[in-house]
Amino acid sequence: MKNWLKIASRKVPAGSIVVDGVRKTTGGRTRTRVAMTMAVFFGIYASIGGRLVYFAMQEPDTGAAPQSRVTAARPDIVDRNGQLLATDIRTASLFAEPRRIVDADEVIEKLSTVLPDLQMEQTYHKLRSGAGFVWLKRQLTPKQQADIMALGLPGIGFRTEKRRFYPGGPTASHILGLTNIDNKGIAGMEKYIDDSGLADLQATGLAADLEPVKLSIDLRVQHIVRDEIAQAMERYHAIAAGAVVLDIDTGEVLAMASVPDFDPNNPFNALDKDHLNRMTGGVYEMGSTVKSFTTAMALDSGKVTLESKFDATRPITIGRQTIRDFHGKHRVLSVPEVFIYSSNIGSAREADVVGVEGHRAFLQRMGLLTRLTTELPEVAKPTEPRVWKKVHSITASFGHGFSTTPLQTAVGAAALMTGTLLPPTFLPRTPQEATEVGKRVVTDYTVEGMRYLYRLNAEKGSGKRAEVVGYRVGGKTGTAEKVVNGRYSSDKRFNAFVAAFPMDKPRYIVLSIIDEPKPEKPGMGATAGSNAAPIVANIIRRSAAMLGVEPEFGHETEATVVSTE
């Protein structure tokens, strides 16, 4: 008690009590403020760090449509024997991040030393746009990529993309078609692949899991066809040429080419009108090759036989049209003579027997007047008179007045060899599948008659230069005058030859065309027999063995002409 009283009785200065109180109060507040400040700074830095991690995990903003970011993966395309026709390869593309570009002028100046074709003004606007991502140049070469990397430009980068590569170059360009910069099919079978639903699978990026798309094309025969028409175009000083090889039993297109063509690896001239695929994308008056169908029509009508005769003594006049023969015999001709002498007058009289309505109906049945149905997108629609009159039927009998595609003519000729019309295909098709899609169009009598006439014409008619020893070729020539300024021109022709072989049991159709050919040498002719027929002969000579046709020697049977003389 005394000790307590002593402590209580001590005198403590009033100022020291106040100071101690203030110190205690302010010390607590300071610690609180420091803690709060530290928490704020920690939150700020944590937020910044989180955003940096977030941005590091994101793809750059392209500023373009989503499909421009990642090019589509595509399945390989191979021929019927598994030979590669088209595949994807990896390539680098150049992009910029304008927000990181300090001096756009310097970047353009340095890039132009590697990319001299760089569009300066367009690139400058891109670099000054402030966007997060812009494309500068797609699909660089490895050397260009290395040279640009050596420039050390900030804000410039590369992205790996897929690009379509065609090992054969222009060999099958019109069949394979093209892809655009984003690897999407825009023409030919490349477009068919996208349109048929494979594009949905490609979008998954699992192209490695996709089976290659196999075509009916035989790359070996394809090379021969293109090589022969390219040589013919030069040899006969023509503006274009083309050919197709067709399997008669299945309708498979084994080879088809048209020149001038293009290299799908560098398709700068693919859209030029001169580089049109004339075999499917062009329609032409096919000249006397159409007489195949006129004669078949007459035989199939039951009103005409191979022994029937037609008066070709003098020209036929219908209105203002006068029908003459190129090398007239000026006498009555049998059906075989009408065919091998390619008589316009005789063909006109054959058509007259059937009649206008029956004539158009037969051409329609043979698929010559409707748009061809096949996988290739580039298919033109045939043209014909709005209203068929007798004069139209007469001129159509020898290949004038209506136009169709060369491939349709080949398909129709194949039907004359078997009696069954098959839609052509660029994909493999078995004989059983062909039976399901085929349509019977002519009788067996007509088939036998046309086989006989084709072989006869190669032996004794205008198709002599299509003969290939051992392979029993038959066919029909066609020399059509082209229409220039509304009139038929006597010095501009569109020539064709359609052939089948071997004629004892035809397996293949080969059709060639040559546009505006000139004489090979001064004094020589420029009709189909002197240019289109040799093209076919060369194709058959080089490819028949590859197609599995064995030559036969010493067993040739000579066809005879049923004559009226």
**Cβ atoms within 10 Å of 122's Cβ, excluding its own:** 10
In total, how many domains does the chain have? 2
Q: In terms of domains, do 322 and 284 share one?
A: yes
Q: Which of 175, 192, 214 is the last residue before a domain boundary?
A: 214
Residues in contact with 102: Cβ distance below 8 Å, sequence separation at least 6, in sequence order: 154, 155
Q: How large a percentage of the chain has pLDDT more than 70?
A: 84
Q: Is residue 22 part of a domain?
A: no
Q: Exposed, middle or buried, 319 (CB in 10 Å: 0-12/13-18/19+)?
A: exposed
Q: For residue 135, is pLDDT > 60?
A: yes
Q: Which of 195, 214, 233 is the last residue before a domain boundary?
A: 214
Range of the domain at 84: 75-214
Question: Active-site residue among 173, 216, 288, 512?
Answer: 288
Q: Exposed, middle or buried, 464 (CB in 10 Å: 0-12/13-18/19+)?
A: middle
| pLDDT tens digits, 8-67 | 444 545 445 444 554 445 556 667 776 677 776 667 766 666 655 554 455 444 444 333
Strand 240-247's sheet: what is its strand order?
253-259, 240-247, 508-515, 487-501, 474-484
| pLDDT value, residue 210 | 78
Q: In terms of domains, do 351 and 424 share one?
A: yes
Q: Rounded to whole angstroms, how far apart are CA atoms 496 and 243?
A: 9
Instruction: Determine the number of helices (DSSP H) and then strands (DSSP E) in the chain.
Output: 18, 18
| pLDDT value, residue 3 | 47
Amino acid at 355: G
Q: Is residue 35 part of a domain?
A: no
Q: Rounded to the nearest 5 degrees, what angle is found at the Cα of 465, between the Cα atoms of 464 and 470?
A: 80
| pLDDT value, residue 271 | 86
Task: Report helix, strand or coil for 78.
Answer: strand
| pLDDT tens digits, 304-334 | 999 999 999 999 998 888 999 988 899 999 9
Q: In terms of domains, do 155 and 288 share one?
A: no
| pLDDT value, residue 142 | 85
Q: For residue 257, name the pLDDT band (cuts at 50, 70, 90).
A: very high
Q: Is residue 442 part of a domain?
A: yes
Q: Exposed, middle or buried, 124 (CB in 10 Å: 0-12/13-18/19+)?
A: middle
| pLDDT value, residue 235 | 97
The residue assigned the tokens 């990896």 is 90
Q: Sign of dihedral through CA atoms 309, 313, 319, 321? A: positive
Name the least confident of 52-66, 113-127, 387-401: 52-66
Q: For residue 194, is pLDDT > 90?
A: yes
| pLDDT value, residue 170 | 97
Q: How large a percentage of the chain has pLDDT more than 90?
A: 64
Is the pLDDT higher at 263 or at 487?
263
> Please, how many CA atoms are within 13 Å of residue 346, restricted to the half-sphere of its CB?
29
| pLDDT value, residue 256 | 98
Q: In terms of domains, do 186 and 231 share one?
A: no
Is the pLDDT higher at 64 or at 490?
490
- DSSP character for 284? B
Specify which residues 309 forms β-bridges with.
Answer: 334
Q: In terms of domains, do 401 and 500 share one?
A: yes
Asked if residue 498 lies in contact with residue 413, where contact means CB atoms within 8 angstroms, the answer is yes
Q: In terms of domains, do 195 and 226 share one?
A: no
Q: Rounded to whole angstroms, how far apart are CA atoms 277 and 260?
A: 9
Is the pLDDT higher at 462 or at 131?
462
Label the pairing between strands 508-515 and 487-501.
antiparallel
Question: For position 250, which CATH number holds?
Answer: 3.40.710.10
Q: For residue 485, is pLDDT > 60?
A: yes
Q: For residue 288, name the pLDDT band (cuts at 50, 70, 90).
A: very high
Is the pLDDT higher at 335 or at 556?
335
Q: For residue 198, name the pLDDT band (cuts at 50, 70, 90).
A: low
Amino acid at 145: Q
| pLDDT value, residue 352 | 96
Q: Which of 158, 182, 214 is the last residue before a domain boundary?
A: 214
Is the pLDDT higher at 83 or at 29?
83
Q: Is residue 405 part of a domain?
A: yes
Q: Is residue 6 part of a domain?
A: no
Task: Report helix, strand or coil for 35.
Answer: helix
Q: Is residue 350 part of a domain?
A: yes
| pLDDT tens digits, 535-560 | 999 999 999 999 999 998 875 555 55
| pLDDT value, residue 223 | 98
Element (H, E) at 214: strand 213-214
Q: In terms of domains, do 97 and 209 share one?
A: yes
Asked if residue 317 lies in contact with residue 300, where contact means CB atoms within 8 angstroms, the answer is no
Is the pLDDT higher at 131 or at 564?
131
| pLDDT value, residue 559 | 58
The residue assigned the tokens 């003459």 is 324
pLDDT (mean) for 427-440: 97
Q: In terms of domains, do 299 and 208 share one?
A: no
Q: In terms of domains, do 303 and 391 share one?
A: yes
Is the pLDDT higher at 162 or at 560?
162
Name the least confident of 20-24, 100-104, 381-385, 435-439: 20-24
Q: Is residue 312 part of a domain?
A: yes
Specify which residues 245 forms β-bridges with.
Answer: 255, 510
Is the pLDDT higher at 197 or at 221?
221
Question: For position 204, which CATH number holds?
Answer: 3.90.1310.10
Q: In terms of domains, do 155 and 290 share one?
A: no
What's the chain's average pLDDT? 87
| pLDDT value, residue 132 | 85
Decide if 16 is catalytic. Answer: no
Q: Rounded to whole angstroms, how far apart are CA atoms 251 and 438?
A: 9
Q: In terms of domains, do 265 and 387 share one?
A: yes
| pLDDT value, residue 92 | 85
Can you read off the two tokens belonging to residue 253? 């297109």
Task: Report helix, strand or coil for 564.
Answer: coil
Q: Cα–Cα distances in Å, from 378 out to 85, 363, 422, 428?
A: 19, 22, 19, 19
b/e 61-80 (16+ beta carbons within 10 angstroms → b) = ebeeeeeebbbbbbbbbbbb
What would the DSSP string read from start to end of 375-415? S-S--PPPB--SS--HHHHHHHTTT-S-BB-HHHHHHHHHH
pLDDT (mean) for 259-271: 93
Q: Is residue 41 part of a domain?
A: no
Is the pLDDT higher at 130 or at 42?
130
For the entire predicted model, the pTM comes to 0.80
Q: In terms of domains, do 246 and 298 share one?
A: yes
